[in-house]
Structure formats: structure tokens, C-alpha cells
Amino acid sequence: MSVPRVVIVSPALSDANNGNWQTARRWQLFLQTQCEVRIVREWPDGPLAQHDDVMLALHARRSAPAISAWAKQHQGVPTPALGVVLTGTDLYRDILSDASAQQSLDLASHLVVLQERGLEAVPAHVRARTRVIVQSTRTRRTLPKTSRHLRALMVGHLRDEKLPQTLFAAAKLIHPAEHILIDHIGAPLDDALAEQARATAQACAHYRWLGALPHEATRRRIQAAHVLVHCSRMEGGAHVVMEAVCSGTPVLASRIDGNVGMLGADYEGYFAVDDAPALAALLRRAQHEPDFLNHLHTQCALRAPLFAPQAERQALYQLVQDLLVTAPTHP
């Protein structure tokens, strides 16, 4: 029997250094022991395309041209071995109003969401075709942290969906004498937000914008921080949240479905979306109340097994096997 050929369509490749790329690369590594796998931004991408057995497309809207082309090539096949992974902007914005994203839902034989609450956002008529595959990361040891100050870290490119304005405003509510240090990692994808980050750094000695950093360097900083701050207004399932949880670093997160689906409904480190005073208050609690920070650490530790690589690997293998049942035969 020939080796199955899987193409992963990702709107972001390694140069983007974002969640879509991390998922695509991790899935390629998981599958390459059993399949021929390549990652592309656009499909068809040349002579290899005619031999692909399975497509896994990340992002219903941004990968819509590839999804449509795959469906057209397999016209007449009831379930054309097409899996579409729904991101946060898909689930909580695009599938509500964007025609190309809605068409991607209809064309897919299987849909994937990345955290348990994602199922609630999927339209009822496609829910039976939808499954949850929780993303994974390797566990890192919890590092000892100083008690002289609290180091908070936000990881997120500067774009509106990540809502860094909440962090900027919270930083301005905190006095340097409170010994709360805030680092911010993220590329300047929005010029206006980049200018706000620079202005915040100039006004607040305890806030630093570090720009974009390589993934490994970012993970080390997550591991070294007392808390990760995650301000997003929409998420499908943020990599940095699970990376913090699996590094022993508690999370202060906006109360949105994408975060609640990862951290649990009873998690006590949430603040309302765009509520800078509430974020500042949580940072102060984490600094001055060791029992609160320890409690968040315990809650995160209980969620960490959800993000084990073996579970994601097995779920991904099962998805590909299910898709291969309907794959056409190629020479």
C-alpha cells in the first residue's frame, strides 16, 4: 500500500511565527512517520498537488481559495477528504458573515475546533462533522521565581484581535514602585498599536515592548515569568496559554470562550474583555497575595494533562484515517 499524501494548507509559514504556523509544523512532525506531508500557503502548488490524498486546511476564510480548489478538483466525491481547522477569527467572526468562510464549512468533510467551547460556536447544521483536537506542547519544569517583584509577560503580535490596548492601559494604572514588571513580545503588525506600545514604554518604566522573538526564546521567557497575560478579544485556542500552563506559569486571561475552553469555567484568573482596571487588580493580587498565585498555579497544573502531545497525536491520526476512507485513488 502506498504512503498517504497529506497537504497542510496554512495562511502562515515559518516567517510569521504565529499559532497557525506552530500548529501546521507540529502536525507535519506528528504525521511524517506515517505519511508524506508538506505545508503550503496556496494550493494547488505544482505537480505534486494532483497526487495529494488528504487536505488539512487551517483557517476557513484565509485558506478558502485552496479549499474551493480542492473541492472543485474532487467534484462529484461526496466527502472529498478535506479537513478544515477553525481559528478564533473563523469561529467568532468570519463564519457569521463572510461568504468564503461559510462556503469552507459546507465544503469540508470534517471540521476541527481546538478547544471544547469551540463546538458551541459552530453552526448546528455542521456540528455533526466537527470534532475537538486540543493542541499540545511539551512540559517544561517550573522555575523558581523571585519574591522581590512580579514579572508579567504578554505574548501576542500587535493586532486588534489580541487587544494589546488593555495591557497598555493596565500598565499606566500601575506605579513603578509597585514592583510589577511587564514585558510584551509581539511583532508590530499594526502601525498604530506599535506607536501605542512605544508610547507606553516611554511613559511607564516598568513596561517593555520586546518586539518579535523566536519561538524558543519566547518559551524561555514564558517559563521565567510569574504570570502570562492574555488579553485577546477572540481566540480559537491560543498556543501561548497552553505553553504557559505546561511551563508552570499561571495565566491572567480575558474571559472569552477560547480561553475558558482551555483553562476551564471555574478558573479564577479571568478579567472581562478590555477591562484594564480588572487586569491591573489581578496583577496586584498576584504580586501581593502568594496564596492567590499558588491557587492559579494549582488550577493550571490540573489542566496541563489536556495538552499532552500523545493525545493530540492520536486525535490527529484518527482524523487522517477518517479522511482517508473517502480519499480518491491516485497513481
- For the stretch 1-19, pLDDT in tens is 589 999 999 998 877 678 8
Secondary structure in 3-state letters for 242-283:
HHHHCCCCCEEEECCHHHHHHHCCCCCCEECCCCHHHHHHHH
Nearest to 201 by CA among 179, 214, 182, 187: 182
pLDDT of residue 1: 52
Helices in the chain by DSSP H: which ranges?
19-31, 64-73, 88-89, 95-97, 99-107, 118-121, 164-173, 191-203, 215-224, 239-245, 257-263, 276-288, 290-303, 309-324
Which domains are delineated in the chain?
5-136+308-324 (3.40.50.2000), 150-307 (3.40.50.2000)
- For the stretch 235-288, pLDDT in tens is 999 999 999 999 999 999 999 999 999 999 999 999 999 999 999 999 999 999
pLDDT of residue 44: 95
Residues 6+ apart with CB under 8 A from 164: 154, 156, 158, 184, 186, 193, 196, 197, 231
pLDDT of residue 331: 42
Residues of the chain with pLDDT under 50: 330-331
pLDDT of residue 326: 63
